[in-house]
Structure 1
């Protein structure tokens, strides 16, 4: 039975959660302060999930998340706050303190469904098959140097000047950050890397750095990964356009660079399997709904699974892990954020020019979103070159 600890300073909220979870398959604990939370934590064998309010008058939810990250790193940490304090959620995610978040007031059914799907995703990514396959890839398991250093700087609240300094050590990454900041989406119009980082945001900066570092791991395959990097960047721009058109609002900062890492599994598999992956998979330009099966047939694992696994290993938020893991199967019943996954699937297909009624993923993505081709015809025209 999964054990969940809820922390909130309002007793009426804890009572409401208790009523909603009373007869479910979880063993739940409730604390209205950090002292009580620590006492509960010390009494139980293993805590599977921590769900804490971030904005509380008598103690800081960010500090609570930091404390539990250090004391119990395997515990899934979830942040809750009101819409007015959305910046706190961004801080918790960018510092790798929380992997999922909910806003008050929440719907109980959606909260319960979300918790169940988080556990399903965690169990899937820790399955023995994936674990055994990945253990042989020591070079990839190691967190890339600059990405790791950047994470530490962000977690330690280093200044933007100090963060800029470590980025500037790598001219190639600096160049790409400037290029992305000056793209149509950000429109920074700057040659100053510090200004570019401020436009992009720290959470997006991490994704750009990680993707680029992995693509550079193996010099022999670097040139073969360049088109994946280009595809991912263009997919990210299309995703931003589609998201804005569909939801009528700008992409949340936490996921605004999700397209950059959605295909990171391909870059990882290219590093691991080299020319055989390039010749047998990438060169063939397989249709989207044929790709996963072919990868599993030849290599015993597919790029979406391996990408999701490593993003989970590197403590990325679940929203981004889902878009990486499921963008080839947008109607999977275990997806929590179905519409954004479907938008990512569609964005990738638009960039690859694989919008075909013979492509089941294409049809499923439109079905999840409840749209027709007319909805995104203008966006397709924008990116047809």
Structure 2
């Protein structure tokens, strides 16, 4: 295991390299700095880096070509653009085509750039023991449900304020994650944390370009016909979302926030990836929790969501910080397992009930109420 995450910064402006060097001096990262894309390629071929940060406009080879080369030859490397380009469609195409995972503007905010580096470092910490980055680094886009494709076809093209689009996103975690990821990358200052905000961050043209990928590529649609297990899991995942929303109301006596609704939809994305990318995972013992957490972190999702993805089956882990949310999702997942006759064995639901100040008799009532509302 490597002791430090290795980062390469590439920019032909040496004052930029000096500024980043000063900014990251006290961070526990191994940083190298080069002023040429060709030098960067040579450095990668000698000893690949974990993260690359590069400018777009450079004299010998532009950053797009460099990052495309890195993507094709070193897919486990996290790719960040640091550029003065502010054209929304230019940035949109970079992210949509997976040339880069993240985009930062010049002049940059030191705290935000350091935060991004720490998130990417964290993603690799989650993944490094099982080499998950080899898997998540090769994934550009997750496939959607066939019914989602039908709804896209029936409503295409969509407007920015189309309520039908919001409804479609609320019922397909892969498509929701795609929209959130791209919208986050377009707004480095104020990242949208809900689906409605993500839609508002995109133009009508951008929204429909995202959807065109699914309309034009049948490989981006899940094959539900040949996998009964996948059909069962999809139903399980959608029920989980509804249970979380209703259980939150019962435990906290208020409606769940839009931010937490998004977490309810996306926290188990790693399980969906397990079904779709089973060939990549055959020779590796990779848990769906770590797989989901790694890709959510790589794509810049909120820390609460990443924590729920990682610990929803291990809620008592000492690294858990948002116990209210992780315990809520863990308990919801347990209840859902009962409803589907696949009860999670050894789960300490009593400890979570005690944390929320509930009795066992309350739990029986909760299960009866939820089963009637969610499963019927």
TM-score (norm 2): 0.51
Aligned-partner Cα distance in 2 for 1:67–1:39: 12
Structure 1's unaligned 5+ residue stretches are 151-166, 190-195, 247-256, 273-299, 364-383
Gaps of 5+ in 2: 166-203, 246-256, 278-284, 336-350, 357-372
How many Å separate the matches in 2 of 1:15 and 1:197? Answer: 39
SS in structure 2 opposite 1:29?
Answer: strand
SS of the equivalent of 2:7 reads strand
> Could you say which residue in structure 2 is the equivalent of 1:186?
162
Give 2:292's aligned residue.
Answer: 307
**Alignment of 1:319 onto 2:300:** yes
1:346, 1:203 → 2: CA distance?
Answer: 35
Q: Say if 1:124 and 1:198 are closer, same or farther in 2 by CA, change over 3 A.
A: closer
More displaced stretch, 68-77 vs 261-270: 261-270
196, 220, 234: which one pairs with 1:225?
Answer: 234
Match of 2:269 in 1: 264
Partners in 1 of 2:264 and 2:89 — Cα distance? 22
Residue 260 of structure 1: how far off its partner (Å): 5.8
Compute the displacement of 1:218 (Å).
1.7
Rounded to whole Å, the distance in 2 between the matches of 1:232 and 1:211 is 23
Within 5 Å, give how 1:248-263 maps onto structure 2: 261-263=266-268
Determine the structure 2 residue equivalent to 1:111.
Answer: 113
Question: Corresponding residue for 1:372?
Answer: none
Residues 67 and 172 (structure 1 numbering): CA distance in 2 closer, same or farther, change over 3 Å?
same
Kindly provide the CA deviation profile for residues 86-141 of structure 1, in whole angstroms up to 9, marking residues without a partner as x: 4333322222222233233223344234313312221312324x86xxx9xxxx99
Higher helix proportion? 1
Cα drift, residue 50 of structure 1: 0.8
Question: Who is 2:369 aligned against?
Answer: none
CA contact (8 A) 2:11 2:58 kept: no
Change (3 A) 1:348 1:183: farther
Deviation string 1:11-51 (CA, Å, 9 cap, x unpaired) is 22112112223454333222233233334445x42322210
Matches within 5 A, 1:363-374: none
Kept after mapping to 2: 8 A contact 1:263/1:304: yes
Match of 1:50 in 2: 52
User: CA shift at 1:6, angstroms?
Assistant: 0.8
Residue 99 of structure 1 corresponds to: 101
2:220 & 2:241 partners in 1: Cα distance? 9
* TM-aligned CA deviation for residue 175 of structure 1: 0.7
Partner of 1:15: 18
Residues 300-352 of structure 1: CA distance to partner in whole angstroms, max 9, x if unpaired? 9975434335x47xxx942249675323669x9999xx9xx99x989989x99
State the SS of the aligned residue for 2:152. helix
**8 Å contact kept, 2:49–2:77:** yes
Q: Residue 222 of structure 2 aligns to a residue in which SS?
A: helix
- The answer to whether 1:2 aligns with 2:5 is yes
Q: Does the 8 Å CA contact 1:4/1:47 hold for their aligned counterparts?
A: yes
Length, aligned pairs only: 279
Q: Contact 2:81–2:103 at 8 Å: present in 1 too?
A: yes
Please give the TM-score of this superposition, normalised by the length of structure 1. Answer: 0.50
1:175 matched to 2:184? The reply is no
CA distance in 1, matches of 2:291, 2:308: 13
| 201 and 74 in structure 1: CA distance in 2 versus 1, 3 angstrom threshold | same
Between the aligned partners of 1:105 and 1:66, the Cα distance in structure 2 is 24
Q: Cα 1:215–1:200, aligned 2, differ >3 Å: closer, same or farther?
A: farther
Decide whether the 8 Å contact of 1:3 with 1:28 is kept in 2.
yes
- Residues 255-290 of structure 1 show CA distances to partners (whole Å, capped at 9, x for unaligned) of xx9976543335467899xxxxxxxxxxxxxxxxxx
User: What does residue 202 of structure 1 align with?
Assistant: 210
**Take 1:65 and 1:46, find their aligned partners in 2: how far apart are those partners?**
13
Residues 94 and 203 of structure 1 are in contact (CA less than 8 Å); yes or no, is this contact kept in structure 2?
Answer: no
